[in-house]
Amino acid sequence: MTAMAHEPTPTQEELLLESFLALKTPEGFKAELIEGEIVVSPAPDGEHEDYLSTVIRQVLRQSRTDMDSSGNKGLLMRSGGLCPKNHVIPDVTFAPRELRLFRGAPSWMPCAGVAMVVEVTSTRADVDRIAKRHCYARAGIPLYLLVDREQGTVTLHSDPSGEDFGDAHSTAFGKSLPLPPPFSFDLETSEFA
C-beta separation of 52 from 128 below 8 A: no
Residue-level pLDDT at 75: 93
Residue-level pLDDT at 11: 82
What count of other Cβ atoms lies within 10 Å of the Cβ of residue 59? 22
Q: What is the pLDDT of residues 81-97, one digit of tens each?
A: 444 578 899 999 999 99
C-beta separation of 163 from 134 below 8 A: yes
Dmax over CA atoms of the chain, in Å, equals: 78
* pTM for this prediction: 0.89
Written as one string, the DSSP assignment of 119-153 is EE--TTHHIIIIIHHHHHHHTT-SEEEEEETTTTE
In the chain, which residues have pLDDT < 50? 81-83
C-beta separation of 141 from 133 below 8 A: no
Residue-level pLDDT at 4: 61
Q: Tell me phi and psi for residue 63, to 5 degrees.
A: -60, 140
Q: How far is Cα 170 from Cα 176, in angstroms, rounded to an integer? A: 10
